[in-house]
Structure 1
């Protein structure tokens, strides 16, 4: 708009689909709306990589004024290398005029500075008698508009270097003398790639194309359709905004702000694709959604980031969640580890596949099981859990084997420690999720097996967790009363309604968090991940935690802190991780912020899960049954007895003494009695009142003390040596229940490797030496009781059959 006055920003409004700025320019009030459609019900529209910018004006003095609108864009959008040569042209169809810009030498499926090197930029407006355009040096185009209110309709050349000089692709529209605009003036911007990604199929790659290509054959039609759809798109966007805002506002105004910030950031990191057959026909059943780990790395479909974002997809349209999971499940046929892979590859958009072993087996396997069940429950579509049942089953076996005592498994958080209570419970919830998956696909034996496993392990988790202090959950088994972490992994229990954790655990978590929030360990910008996290805040996990606490005041306090950080952080985009000062950050513009929808996702109605009939063909790539099973857990349902309990029983038998607690005897002999509370001395009746309100004075919230005068962390993992644990595992290791799908794995796939028990944590006191000496003798008598133990404890399903097949 031409005006002798400088425009002044007067306001901004952010919704889930729009950012709306208002300006005052002379006597005219201007409204600029950036609309990025989120199409929950239309895959074609959702896959269109286009956005809208619209302009409206209104006279504030009641008098008519002459108004002209100008807008331009530069070629910086098409490459991260500003010295690249680009070409351009302008096309006029029957309904639109658009500028087209692309690299002279595009590089398919390559990124530079996080910008794709194979895009075509489109800048379009609806045809109008008063519309003019120009392509030229930026300063020349803008000066011409300021002088004349219009553009010459010419292009100075058809190619050039991006920044030498900067060239503008400009439009101008004369609205005449008005008091207000009758309809918005709208500009459409699109970034299009003909080939979206490559996906591995054996030793070759399958090209993936944008989903909208199944409906449109030429780009002109795409642009005409998108430009013409603005009014309807705005109505759909406003309806979605209202739906989300109204629901979130029931929690708090700040929560409504957070979900509004997160929605476009989450969906904007994805692309909806499909494949094309050799016959040239689009395969409409072969749909995948791809996600880039924006702001942190260039990984494709990173499992932990997808897990964080999943509440958004469950709330928006769970079908999209399934399309994100599908390529991860497909790629497992090329991964020979007993746990889930971490991603589809490290260099988006090339899905090279994840091939290497990693240390996050519990984390990623539980993530995949939880998301798979969540998708099936929210969508009613059981095709993924049916088709890829064998992979899910294999991962559940790994969790049964490893989750209760996670000695070497790590999380994706910056801090690592042994026997994490938070990581252990995630694995157990993943096992319960597998029980429900087995139930949905009609595998009754597997259902019962995993139900028993999760019940036994959750009881043991509770015993270990509350052993050192019945009033709060420490970071690790045996942790002090000043040791804590935000228990964000409890969110999956609430989301799936698995009831792995009892209500009093949630109350304990809430009470302790309330105390932490009143301490000097937090700031107005957030709460650290744990008592030793050194001020590192994870906004996604904070919102997961907010969704599970039982006190609305604690919930809203967690929400408010994330909102404050987002509101204060003017130097970066909405980041998933940052310091307590809200200055240093990572995960800028990360799709992980879909976690802001964690509370809303709890309200998604569960659907009846429909799976293909038993006569349907399965195209899964099942793995051969392997002897990876639980060497931890209880005797219920055929779980092997917990090794440390067996050790205690051995000591009891050998010494023929009555003791109040076998583990107390171990501690007494090791000289550790009285230094900590044994996790095996748990009495449910005695701990029934474990949700006692914490006292800020009696439980100082300090960093964890150094381990100088404490037993090895964790003592639970130190009771057995490596050889003792392996001997116990080899004798009592049951097999992962096999599925009924009878197909062989691909020739290129190897059976999952055996999982060895990790070595014990090193001791920090000479007192432990006595305990270790005791274990030497224990190992000697182990084989003497194997036969008796085998008779006492029933093996899990399929164990005897598989044992007979072992070489």
Structure 2
């Protein structure tokens, strides 16, 4: 599902999903989401665990298949001789900020119309208060309303905790369960076992609404619909979500300011937005299928079926990490990322970093939206350090670090920002935005020149491994960062004589806009000199059977994934010789383990994002496929009971 406030995942490709199988938070807080289907006079469970109570049936639908795309998880079932599908759809709409900013997803149950000529079929589904709070003992309140032909259940804490989370779950706003109101749709709320038993007995709900407000743990209240299927209406489509206002608060020189979801630029109320979403399903599924097909086709063209599988599995998770917000004017648009499955930091630079390639593919302007809060905060002068801030606070509170006491990754984050800004510019040619922050970029580059080639003891993005001095891979990032600003200064030359010194494919628009030839000379000389010094410091002795880069300059027997070489290739900087790439590719084959190449010689673990970055840096298909195939092997082995892990 999409967005930090609406996250749930199945740990297996099989339904019925038990309650502890789809945790929305890192603490795996229990969610309630149930599904029953009644075929003639028999009722079958297909979602959740409604049969844990004595509700008058013990039948479970037989799952016959599963498939997934970038936006859909599709489960096929058979019950009482009837085939049906259960589809979870989380639309990915990179160019539609309104839809992307709506924290809503779909569940549909679909039956072939021919079947409905022979059978009477109805569908039941409910959610519990676990979607509204991370505290199962918190008092709840709820309401049901019909707005523009959309039935809407809304559940919230009786006393909302603004900008607070429990187990990384929002404690303000309202959980939403909605559907389109047509003939045969009935909405009810009440005790879970009572509601489900009534459906088993009658094939529909009675329409009563429970007003005895209480907590999830107190005679578990659920919020349900029953839908009678027909030849003209062969599917039941539900919308699940969590609506909040505002989304986040953000640090400024004038104090913290609230920021709302971008959808508020189009809809006056949340009910307007929900009813739009509910009625938009037919459009959403068509768009999703088109997006899925294009993404899969493009991924296969790059690196085959296994790579396509990785991209498809990653897409929903990638887009579930951030929210698009708006300030006081429609032009004040920023996106905020939340670290998932860690500490909930927001706007973390080295977490945006592995996310950016899919944004570069789907919509590069989303990179700008994610970097804008960091650039604006830095430009405010509130952050005192000369390098880049690590993050902006703990979600949803972007309070910044005016004392400069953020997690220290100075070389890492400065290099990441320069890298991503060039990547954005290469796709957008947004010279005005780059020019706006050019002084800040110069500040970060100056820091990298002074401290990047021989990094002091510090953390890299792989902070779980601890600090280390003279990190070879970190120095590559610094050189890429310097080379990035050198390339932009290089591209600032605006005479024919100057252009003779520029590399092929120079960014002419930025060259005309900035015209910083003197800086180009300085950065080019520095980058070239640093590469040569790096070779002397970073590489093992030439007589090694497999020469390669060390993990740290001082450790001759160490090695690691040199994944930051990816920047040299994707940004077309051409700073490092091809010989280095070939040495690294040959070395990786000697380090192969069952499920991948170790991140470095300190531990046996690795990281999926850096495996793929390293694969993209390979000089031959064999090495590229080594990384991709081992990662897919790991995913197929079922070694983790969570979503696609790092």
The TM-score normalised by the length of structure 1 is 0.67
1:264 has 2:340 as partner: no
- Alpha-carbon distance in structure 1 between the residues aligned to 2:640 and 2:611: 21
Corresponding residue of 1:234: 285
- Look up the SS of the partner of 1:284 in the other structure: coil
Residue 516 and residue 22 in structure 1: after superposition, are their counterparts in 2 closer, same or farther (change >3 A)? same
Contact 2:258–2:327 (CA<8 Å) still a contact in 1?
yes
- Look up the SS of the partner of 2:295 in the other structure: helix
Task: Indicate which of 416, 430, 435 corresponds to 1:367.
Answer: 416
Task: Indicate which of 569, 573, 577 corresponds to 1:498.
Answer: 573
Corresponding residue of 1:77: 131
Task: Indicate which of 155, 178, 191 corresponds to 2:209.
Answer: 155
- Alpha-carbon distance in structure 1 between the residues aligned to 2:189 and 2:560: 57
- Alpha-carbon distance in structure 2 between the residues aligned to 1:21 and 1:429: 45
1:550 has 2:626 as partner: no
Cα shift at 1:275 = 0.7
- Alpha-carbon distance in structure 2 between the residues aligned to 1:59 and 1:228: 21
Contact 2:251–2:257 (CA<8 Å) still a contact in 1?
yes
**Structure 1 unaligned regions, length at least 5:** 277-282, 578-807
Corresponding residue of 1:292: 338
1:340 has 2:410 as partner: no
* Mapping of residues 209-228 of structure 1, within 5 Å: 209-228=260-279
Contact 1:359–1:408 (CA<8 Å) still a contact in 2?
no
Contact 2:314–2:644 (CA<8 Å) still a contact in 1?
no
* Mapping of residues 553-568 of structure 1, within 5 Å: 553-568=622-637
**Structure 2 unaligned regions, length at least 5:** 1-36, 43-58, 493-509
Q: Note the aligned Cα RMSD (angstroms).
A: 1.8
Residue 202 and residue 103 in structure 1: after superposition, are their counterparts in 2 closer, same or farther (change >3 A)? same
Residue 330 and residue 204 in structure 1: after superposition, are their counterparts in 2 closer, same or farther (change >3 A)? same
Cα shift at 1:357 = 6.0
1:167 has 2:236 as partner: no
- Alpha-carbon distance in structure 2 between the residues aligned to 1:419 and 1:97: 60
> Could you list the per-position Cα deviations for residues 413-453 of structure 1 after superposition, in whole angstroms to 9, with x for gaps in the alignment?
21543222211111011001111333333322222211111
1:399 has 2:451 as partner: no
- Alpha-carbon distance in structure 2 between the residues aligned to 1:211 and 1:74: 27
Corresponding residue of 1:273: 325
1:512 has 2:607 as partner: no
Residue 61 and residue 100 in structure 1: after superposition, are their counterparts in 2 closer, same or farther (change >3 A)? closer
- Look up the SS of the partner of 1:2 in the other structure: strand
Cα shift at 1:563 = 1.8
Corresponding residue of 1:707: none
Corresponding residue of 2:473: 422
Contact 2:469–2:552 (CA<8 Å) still a contact in 1?
yes
Cα shift at 1:479 = 4.0
Cα shift at 1:272 = 0.4
Task: Indicate which of 597, 600, 608 corresponds to 1:527.
Answer: 597
- Alpha-carbon distance in structure 1 between the residues aligned to 2:298 and 2:82: 35
Corresponding residue of 2:496: none
Task: Indicate which of 230, 250, 270 corresponds to 1:199.
Answer: 250
Corresponding residue of 1:92: 146
- Look up the SS of the partner of 1:159 in the other structure: coil
- Look up the SS of the partner of 1:200 in the other structure: strand
* Mapping of residues 289-688 of structure 1, within 5 Å: 289-332=335-378, 333-345=381-393, 347-354=394-401, 355-356=404-405, 359-413=408-462, 414-438=465-489, 439=492, 440=510, 441-466=514-539, 468-469=541-542, 471-477=547-553, 479-480=555-556, 482-517=557-592, 522-523=593-594, 525-532=595-602, 534-569=603-638, 571-577=640-646
Contact 1:326–1:384 (CA<8 Å) still a contact in 2?
no
Residue 357 and residue 302 in structure 1: after superposition, are their counterparts in 2 closer, same or farther (change >3 A)? closer
> Could you list the per-position Cα deviations for residues 18-56 of structure 1 after superposition, in whole angstroms to 9, with x for gaps in the alignment?
111111112111111111111121111111111111111
- Alpha-carbon distance in structure 1 between the residues aligned to 2:308 and 2:550: 32
1:141 has 2:141 as partner: no
- Look up the SS of the partner of 1:536 in the other structure: coil
Cα shift at 1:377 = 1.1
Contact 2:188–2:209 (CA<8 Å) still a contact in 1?
yes
1:2 has 2:38 as partner: yes
Cα shift at 1:124 = 1.0
Residue 547 and residue 145 in structure 1: after superposition, are their counterparts in 2 closer, same or farther (change >3 A)? same
- Alpha-carbon distance in structure 1 between the residues aligned to 2:112 and 2:640: 33
Which segment is superposed worse, 217-226 or 261-270? Answer: 217-226
Residue 73 and residue 358 in structure 1: after superposition, are their counterparts in 2 closer, same or farther (change >3 A)? closer
Corresponding residue of 2:109: 55
- Look up the SS of the partner of 2:346 in the other structure: coil
Cα shift at 1:203 = 4.7
Cα shift at 1:338 = 1.6
1:41 has 2:104 as partner: no
- Alpha-carbon distance in structure 1 between the residues aligned to 2:305 and 2:605: 25
The TM-score normalised by the length of structure 2 is 0.84
Residue 396 and residue 284 in structure 1: after superposition, are their counterparts in 2 closer, same or farther (change >3 A)? same
- Alpha-carbon distance in structure 2 between the residues aligned to 1:188 and 1:341: 38
- Look up the SS of the partner of 2:327 in the other structure: strand
- Alpha-carbon distance in structure 2 between the residues aligned to 1:555 and 1:308: 18
- Alpha-carbon distance in structure 2 between the residues aligned to 1:107 and 1:62: 47
The count of aligned residue pairs is 560
- Alpha-carbon distance in structure 2 between the residues aligned to 1:340 and 1:562: 32
Task: Indicate which of 163, 183, 197 corresponds to 1:129.
Answer: 183
